[in-house]
Amino acid sequence: MIKNSNVKIGVISAYILFIAVSVMIGFNPGKQIGMNFYKFSIEMLRVLPCGFILIGLFEVWVKREVVERHFGEASGFRGHIWAMLLAGTIVGGLYVGFPLAYSLHIKGAKLSVIFTFIGACAICRVPMTIFEASFVGIKFTAIRLVISLPLVIVTSILLGNYLTGRNYTISKRK
């Protein structure tokens, strides 16, 4: 455990040293890497706290029975539709989607529905779709969604059935 911790500290120290030396000697790629890290960090600090608060509220307010009914084994195809609708409302993309997917799993969601949720988080969030439509047009966006969403559902079902058939389980928190 200490060895792994020392490696992490060494990598982080080397990164900070690289950025500091880049700024001192005027090495533009290093300065750009530092600036990108700074911008990314600020963006995450804006999105993640709100997202994690919403995930916490989801865990407390949404009952296990509701998740099992709408996302569980008995939900059928409806579960995939619910997963896409929930994913469309996610802010922060996969940064928030993965923890929420884990929460869905803990509350009894079917594995294939969780995969649909994660895939939909990546491709059909409402703010991203509006942004895309304003730049490349509504026709392109509609075609992309009409092609992408069925593919996400099909691959999620195939992967979910495959993993379920092999008795794959996600470890639950302690």
- Where do we find the tokens 């099909």? 154
Give the C-alpha separation, 29 to 43, whole Å.
21
Asked if 90 and 125 count as a contact pair (C-beta separation under 8 A), the reply is: yes
- The string of pLDDT tens digits covering residues 76-113 is 899 999 999 999 988 878 888 999 999 999 999 999 99
In the chain, where the domains are located: 1-46, 62-174
Q: What is the mean pLDDT of residues 112-135?
A: 91
Residue 169 has pLDDT above 80, yes or no: no
Per-residue model confidence (pLDDT) at position 174: 52
Residue 2 has pLDDT above 70, yes or no: no
Kindly report the number of other CB atoms within 10 A of residue 91's CB atom: 15
Per-residue model confidence (pLDDT) at position 147: 95
Per-residue model confidence (pLDDT) at position 95: 84
- The string of pLDDT tens digits covering residues 39-83 is 999 988 888 888 889 889 998 999 999 999 999 998 889 999 999
